[in-house]
Structure 1
Amino acid sequence: MLFEDTYRTIQNASEGVFRDKGSKFIAYAYPLTDESEVKDIVFQLKKEHPKARHHCYAWRLTTDRNVFRINDDGEPSGTAGRPILNTLLSKDVTNILVVVVRYFGGILLGVPGLINAYKMATEDALAHADIIEKTVNDIYLLSFDYLQMNDVMRVIKEEELSPSNQSFDLQCAMEIAIRKSELNKVLGKIEKIEGVQTKYLKTI
């Protein structure tokens, strides 16, 4: 196989905490499907923790190790977002956002202390999470005439696909998620049905 067909992520949001010299680091881990979700989550945490000194984060999307973003939010460069990200990479989880909220305890921890604190808080949040394996799926939009409905539904049933965003009228449309490794087989069957149009939307 030329690509990774599965990835590890977390089922639900989870929390972890680490304390050092009076400073408290609270890590919040969230499943993530799109970068656009990050802003709202960070905004919400800032509202919940207005007295916290820093809200640092890192996220990863897809199985590509190069798709990530880190934010030190005022901590010395490389001491917050990077250790959070490195923990996600070492635990091999993706489609995930971890935000660590820091309450300053009055004593400076120094660079090694900060790196350790952000790492430990992240590890604790992941230890409390349900880590699950998911398949890499391509989402396709199918458009077809109502008369083709039975043929389309037969393939969907045979291949155990889950359609979403369905609209049935004279002209029908639905989105289906196809596992990457099954792509050629499933699309081959669908494209044999006369009058069905397929359009690639995105990979999740």
Structure 2
Amino acid sequence: MEFSFNTIKSPVENILLKEKGSKFIGFTFPVNDETELKKSLEKIREEHPKATHHCYAFRLGMKGENYRANDDGEPSGSAGLPIYNQLLAHDITNVLVIVVRYYGGTKLGVSGLVKAYKESAKITLEEAEMITKELESDIEIAFSFSQQNQIFTLLNKFDGRIQDFLSDEQCVIKAKIKTSQKENISEQLSEMQNISFKFT
């Protein structure tokens, strides 16, 4: 199983490309789901209401299995697909690329459009910082107060990130751990007395 994927660290905005009077402005956003995707698209549509086209492509999921390319009124395959191909070329997922076009009066033809959208997506992604993200799982551990040092030590060892901690006679910790460590941490927790845990 794969436990990591390549994506971008943070948004890149307003990368400008000019082609025969038309302006192409590139944006890219890291997105984790459809909701974040829609928000980013709406944001750009609000910022550029007078643009002729808002073309985009995205990939979501570990292997980019959820994807779409949208030409937004440009000739079929001349905008969304060249943008999408740049996502493939960079081997990244959970990324949205939008290219906004302001028509400049000279028609570019399909091959000219393909070239402009491809180039715009390419220079936008080249500005982005590429990172590898590890898949994470949520774990909830219940234990008695006297065992908290043991649990903290264990989570520390596996680079667990504590999200929530309820301290009482009976304590509950919610943490995020790397999915690749799931089996290892489960084994160690199973060997401890009076502890229950579950992945949520």
Q: Same fold (TM over 0.5)?
A: yes
Q: Distance in 2 between matches of 1:40 and 1:166?
A: 31
Structure 2 residue ranges without an equivalent (≥5):
none
- The equivalent of 2:177 in structure 1 is 177
TM-score (norm 1): 0.86
Q: Distance in 1 between matches of 2:10 and 2:162?
A: 23
Q: Which is further off, 163-172 or 33-42?
A: 163-172
Over the matched positions of the two proteins, sequence identity in percent amounts to 35
Shift of 1:24: 1.0
Shift of 1:88: 0.6
Q: Distance in 1 between matches of 2:16 and 2:191?
A: 55
Q: Distance in 2 between matches of 1:49 and 1:132?
A: 29
Q: Quick check: 2:159–2:177 contact (8 Å CA) kept in 1?
A: no
Q: Quick check: 2:165–2:171 contact (8 Å CA) kept in 1?
A: no
Change (3 A) 1:166 1:37: farther
In the alignment, does 2:38 pair up with 1:19?
A: no
In the alignment, does 2:84 pair up with 1:85?
A: yes
Alignment root-mean-square deviation, CA: 2.0
Q: Which is further off, 82-91 or 6-15?
A: 6-15
Q: Quick check: 1:100–1:122 contact (8 Å CA) kept in 2?
A: yes
Matches within 5 A, 1:97-176: 97-135=96-134, 137-147=135-145, 148-169=147-168, 170-176=170-176
SS in 2 for 1:83: helix
Matches within 5 A, 1:68-79: 68-79=67-78
SS in 1 for 2:137: strand
Shift of 1:161: 1.7
SS in 2 for 1:100: strand
Matches within 5 A, 1:27-66: 27-66=26-65
TM-score (norm 2): 0.87
Q: Which is further off, 84-93 or 153-162?
A: 153-162
Q: Distance in 1 between matches of 2:107 and 2:90?
A: 28
SS in 2 for 1:60: strand
Q: Quick check: 2:160–2:176 contact (8 Å CA) kept in 1?
A: yes
Q: Quick check: 2:64–2:94 contact (8 Å CA) kept in 1?
A: no
Change (3 A) 1:115 1:41: same
Structure 1 residue ranges without an equivalent (≥5):
none
Q: Quick check: 1:55–1:99 contact (8 Å CA) kept in 2?
A: yes
SS in 1 for 2:24: strand
Aligned residues: 196
Shift of 1:146: 4.1
The one-letter code of the counterpart of 1:81 is: G
Q: Which is further off, 37-46 or 7-16?
A: 7-16
Q: Distance in 2 between matches of 1:151 and 1:109?
A: 66
Residues 115-149 of structure 1: CA distance to partner in whole angstroms, max 9, x if unpaired? Answer: 111111111111111112222x2322314144343
